[in-house]
Amino acid sequence: MTTTIAHRIAERTAQYAALPVFRAFAEDRIPLSRFPEFLREQAMAARWFQDLIWATTDVSEGPFAPFLAHHRSVDSGHYKWANRDVAAHGLSPMSTDDLFAFERLSTRVQMARILAACHLASPERRVVILAALESAGEVTLGELNRFVKRHGLEEDNLYLGDHHLRVERGQHEAVAAVAIAVMESADAELLETVDLVFSALTTMFESGGRRIYGSIVEEAS
């Protein structure tokens, strides 16, 4: 059977959802006292994700342009919620030095891999990157939102709260619906683009999860 872009995104999303770091949250292995330890990392990553949204929706003409402009308008500024959550947990604000700290370099490298793929990219490739990001994002936000709700942490975690979840829910399907022909394509370069996005995100969450939570994530493997 020919592998289409839609099939590849679904396959890679399922693999991504099975990462040990998400299993650790799903199985409540993360002690509540240690939950805030990843919030500063989240704030940095959320700001990088904003650039990814802007880059993938930077299409001024053609059939995708109106949808992408709307998507950009509703998917901008969410990183500010992550900054608010850092403060709500009594953590110091993220300075420029914090955002570019050496210990977070591995995360930035993976985000940069995706951002670089947007350079001179066709509208079709940008749409594929966006669809892959939104599919992965539904896994990430969904799992962390369930953890937050189980433990009554909604008040101090706006970025992981229901409002953000409602905004993001169905974003991948919306992208796919506006680019049906692209999602049904089996173009080799676009398939490689899907793999690039998920390779970067997988590496980022695997290394970040182990760096922050160590043996807890290892034991969930």
In tens, the pLDDT along 128-145 reads 999 999 999 999 999 999
- Closest by alpha carbon to 173, among 201, 123, 125, 134? 134
The confidence score (pLDDT) of residue 172 equals 85
Total structural domains within the chain: 1
pLDDT digits (tens, 9 = 90+) for 33-87: 999 999 999 999 999 999 999 999 999 999 999 999 999 999 999 999 999 999 9
168 pLDDT tier (thresholds 50, 70, 90): confident
- DSSP annotation string for 38-94: GHHHHHHHHHHHHHHHHHHT---SSTTHHHHHHHHHHSSSTHHHHHHHHHHTTPPP-
The residues, any chain, with a CB within 8 Å of residue 171's CB and separated by 6 or more, are 71, 75, 134, 137, 138
Q: Dig out the tokens for 74 from the structure.
A: 């509703």
CATH of the domain at 20: 1.20.910.10
**Residue 35 carries which DSSP code?**
G
Where in the sequence is the domain holding 186, given as residue range(s)? 5-219
Mean pLDDT throughout 23-34?
Answer: 98
pTM: 0.96
Q: Dig out the tokens for 165 from the structure.
A: 């979840």
Q: CA torsion angle for 19, 21, 22, 26 (degrees, to 10)?
A: 130
CA 46 to chain centre: 8
